[in-house]
Structure 1
Amino acid sequence: MIWWAALPVLGYAGISAWLFSKQRDLIYLPQGTRVDAAQTDFTLARGDVQLHGWVLNPQARNPVIYFGGNAESIQNRREQLGRLLPDHSVYLVSYRGYGASGGAPSEEALFGDALAVFDTVRARHPDEPIAVVGSSLGSGVASYVASRRPVSKLVLVAPFDSLVAVAQAHYPMFPVRWLVKDRFDSAANLHGYEGDALVIRAGRDQVVPPSNTDRLIAAFGKPPRVADLPEADHNTIGGDPGFENALADFLR
């Protein structure tokens, strides 16, 4: 009887242990994003890891850095951003383990890479304002950059307060807050943030609960501009006409 009574506890502990051991496989989804490095036109060395991506309008001023979403093939964003931002140079660099970039993703690595990308862009465009756009997972990366570097404008698309809070919302029966190592705590990074910011949110977001975006917005010191797209969901927000209008208007 004791053995049978212990089975649910053992099963719960086993699933929790599995979630802990496989968490980065569950968080990061680069498999469908891989491309050959020969297809890219930008390279940044980070120790023994090469990051690859693309630069649009390289001779233009006022650069914009785009940090993509999880499982997003950022090369597919080139046509849209080039069309919306013809007077800006736009940098799209794949996270390590994504696209043509080497290495394996982790919060610490992505944050360090993102700062290196910003510093490289600043060296290429001295004394020019640099805007940063982050979508979904990239909103966590962009929030960190904005907390550490002089970002002129910050755009967060389908953002969250922290990755661990979103994960806890999806797995309420497990102690996710104690298991997740890569926390992407954007609310903490942007606590009291006074810069110009735009939050674009999807009314039918099935990944980031509305309350998680609300808590992020509340963390700002200076309230951000908010664009609500009621018909968009987490995966379609970037194709919504309201997204294009809000982004172009804010960065113009």
Structure 2
Amino acid sequence: MVSYVSALLYGVGGIVVAGMALLVAFQEKLVYVPVLPGLTKSYPITPARLRLLYEDVWLRSADGVRLHAWFIKLIPECRGPTVLFFQENAGSILIFISPALYIAHRLEMVRIMIQRLQCNVFMLSYRGYGASDGYPSQHGIAKDAQAALDHLSQRTDIDTSRIVVFGRSLGGAVGALLTKNNPDKVAALILENTFTSILDMAGVLLPFLKWFIGGTGSKGPKILNFLVRSPWSTIDIVGQINQPILFLSGLQDEMVPPSHMQMLYAKVASHNRECIFVEFPNGMHMDTWLAGGDHYWRTIQQFIGNHVPEIKEHESSHDDKDTEGR
């Protein structure tokens, strides 16, 4: 009996040690996947292939890292909303056929977004992703997102009062943090298939770790939480956001359990009445925009129309005159 208990304790101890070693050595490679193994980071096609009007933008993050982005416009002087789009990781292997097809898949989504929403789209490559320099980390990517928003806020060819942050998966965590930190610069937030936290996702990706790592709602002892350098605790962040939020959840998501989106919404709905939750029964992690079809785009269109309305020229002029007369 004693030997059995000893063996059990040694086994549990071995799992803990193995988990600690894995987290310390490889966690950035588990959390951030700029490109799938064996493939290049370079973009085999650009928006020009889809006949999109775009600008190559080069930015400097606050710590000096050089970043690359695409600013894709509906027309040269489009004053519609500007969507600051934060991407997911390298994406689901289920839709990845080749680098060209994967990038084309994302750009096709952006092409439809621009047409349906009559908007501009700013696509940032985080540090270590695409043509951007550096290595990804939560602290660094948060700086990258801020650099992108600061760039947009200083442009004179867009309506800076109509900036909408849109994040999918990892991008949702990035976008939520940026929106919370910039209540005066971000008009609204859209989250699609986003996780509650990396702490919770650790137990999804590596089930044996769920007893030792977890977010605010987990029941385990969480004794390894201190080792996680990129917790991305979105569920704690969204509770501090007062801007309108649209939650888009694909119920067939094979990577992030749909329950994560439900928990994020529940966290916000208790204090923010301008949040909406919409489910898409056939949506997977990367193809909810395809599976959702017209309903998907109408949902976003209505959300932006209601919460990020266009300010008419005569209304703006009238307000200016009233201010001068006071």
Q: Which residue matches 1:19?
A: 23
1:136 equivalent to 2:189? Answer no
Partner of 2:162, secondary structure, is coil
Over 3 Å counting, the alpha-carbon distance change for 1:206 and 1:79 in structure 2 is closer
1:17-59 Cα distance to aligned partner (Å, 9 max, x none):
1233211111111124712599571111224421112111153
Q: Letter of the aligned partner of 1:49 in structure 2?
A: V
Over 3 Å counting, the alpha-carbon distance change for 1:77 and 1:129 in structure 2 is same
Q: 1:51 aligns with which of 67, 88, 104?
A: 67
Over 3 Å counting, the alpha-carbon distance change for 1:78 and 1:191 in structure 2 is same
Write the mapping of 1:1-252 to structure 2, written as runs, cut at 5 A: 5=7, 8-9=11-12, 11-12=14-15, 13-32=17-36, 34-35=41-42, 41-46=56-61, 47-57=63-73, 59-61=77-79, 62-72=81-91, 76-86=105-115, 87-124=118-155, 125=158, 127-149=160-182, 150=184, 151-174=186-209, 175-177=212-214, 178=225, 179-220=227-268, 221-223=271-273, 224-240=275-291, 241=293, 242-252=295-305
Name the TM-score, length of structure 2 as normaliser.
0.69
- % identical equivalent positions: 27
The alpha carbon displacement at 1:152 in A equals: 0.7
| Counterpart-to-counterpart distance in 2, 1:196 and 1:70 | 25
| Counterpart-to-counterpart distance in 2, 1:127 and 1:109 | 24
The alpha carbon displacement at 1:211 in A equals: 2.7
Say what the alpha-carbon RMSD is for the aligned residues: 2.6
The alpha carbon displacement at 1:197 in A equals: 1.2
| Counterpart-to-counterpart distance in 2, 1:82 and 1:26 | 30
Contact kept? 1:37, 1:100, Cα under 8 Å: no
Q: Which range moved further: 74-83 or 43-52?
A: 74-83
Contact kept? 2:161, 2:187, Cα under 8 Å: no
| Counterpart-to-counterpart distance in 2, 1:218 and 1:76 | 31
Contact kept? 1:68, 1:74, Cα under 8 Å: no
Q: Letter of the aligned partner of 1:190 in structure 2?
A: V
Q: Which range moved further: 217-226 or 143-152?
A: 217-226
The alpha carbon displacement at 1:200 in A equals: 0.3
Q: Which range moved further: 12-21 or 35-44?
A: 35-44
The alpha carbon displacement at 1:185 in A equals: 1.1
Over 3 Å counting, the alpha-carbon distance change for 1:10 and 1:127 in structure 2 is closer
The alpha carbon displacement at 1:83 in A equals: 3.0
Partner of 1:54, secondary structure, is strand
1:171-196 Cα distance to aligned partner (Å, 9 max, x none):
34322342322011112112143221
Partner of 1:22, secondary structure, is helix
- Which stretches in structure 2 are left out of the alignment for 5+ residues? 47-54, 92-101, 215-224, 306-326
Q: Letter of the aligned partner of 2:85 in structure 1?
A: Y
| Counterpart-to-counterpart distance in 2, 1:119 and 1:180 | 29
Largest Rg, 1 or 2:
2
The alpha carbon displacement at 1:126 in A equals: 6.2
